[in-house]
Amino acid sequence: ANGIALVLVSGSIVFEAIERFESPQPVDTALMSAVAAVGLAGNLVGLWLLRGQLKSLNLRGAFLHILGDALSSVGVLAAALIMSATGWTRLDAAVSLGIAVIIVITSVNLLREVVEVLLEAAPTHIDTDSVRATIVTVAGVDDVHDLHVWSITSGMPALSAHVVVRNLACDADTVLSAIQARLRSEYAIDHSTLQIERRPAADCGCE
C-alpha cells in the first residue's frame, strides 16, 4: 500500500507540474521558503527516528514517504531561492517533476519486495539451487525435493522441503538439526519446515 501510494503521489505531482508549465502562476517565494524550511525540519526528525527500523516493509514505506517529503522540501526551498532572484516561475514545475522521478525510483524496490511477499516468491538474494546443494551435502541426506523458499515479510525468509535420508538407521533429529544450522548460518533462514522421508540403503552415512 505504501509503494502504491508513493506512485500515486508522484502521478499527481507530475500532473500538476505539467499544468504549471503550460500556465505559470505567481509564486510567493517568501512563504514558499518558510513552509519548505519547516517541512524539512520535521522530515529530518522523522528520518532520524526511523533510521534503524528499515527491515519492516511498513516502516520502510513510511521512511520512503518521509524521505520523499524531505527531498520535496529541499527542492522547493532551492526553487524558491532561485525564483526570488530570477523571477523564473516555471522552475517550480521543473523541480516538481524532478521530485516525482525521485519518489518513483525510491518506491520501485519497495513494490518489488511487496510483490515477492504476496506471491511467495524466492527472495532475490537466495539461490534455491544453492540451497538444495547445501542440504544434500549434510551427512545422511540422499536427496531433497519439493523445495520452496519465500519471504514471510521483508528480511524474514522461510523454507519448506522434503528431505530423503538414506535408511531407517539415520537419526532424523540429528539430520534436521544439521540442515537447520546450515540454513541459518549460510542463508539466514531461521524458519524452516522439513519433512523427512526414508530410503533404504546399505550405508546410512550419518554422523
DSSP letters along 7-51, please?
HHHHHHHHHHHHHHHHS-----HHHHHHHHHHHHHHHHHHHHHHT
The segment with the largest mean pLDDT, out of 92-101, 121-130, 187-196, is: 187-196
Among 131-135, 159-163, 199-203, which is the least confidently predicted range?
199-203
User: Which domain range does residue 192 map to?
Assistant: 128-198
The arithmetic mean of pLDDT across residues 30-54, rounded, is 84
CA distance 170 to 206: 6
CA distance 125 to 179: 19
Q: Which long-range contacts (CB under 8 A, 24 or more apart) does 120-129 make?
A: 120/148, 120/150, 120/151, 121/150, 121/151, 122/149, 122/150, 123/149, 123/150, 123/151, 123/157, 126/157, 126/187, 126/189
Q: Both 98 and 17 in a single domain?
A: yes
Does 205 score more than 60 pLDDT?
A: no
pLDDT at position 170: 64
pLDDT at position 130: 93
pTM greater than 0.75 (yes/no): no
When divided into structural domains, the chain yields a total of: 2
Does 51 score more than 90 pLDDT?
A: no
Backbone angles phi, psi at 105, to 5 degrees: -60, -45
pLDDT at position 55: 64
pLDDT at position 206: 53
Q: Both 16 and 113 in a single domain?
A: yes
CA distance 201 to 10: 62
Q: Both 71 and 37 in a single domain?
A: yes
CATH number of the domain bearing residue 145: 3.30.70.1350
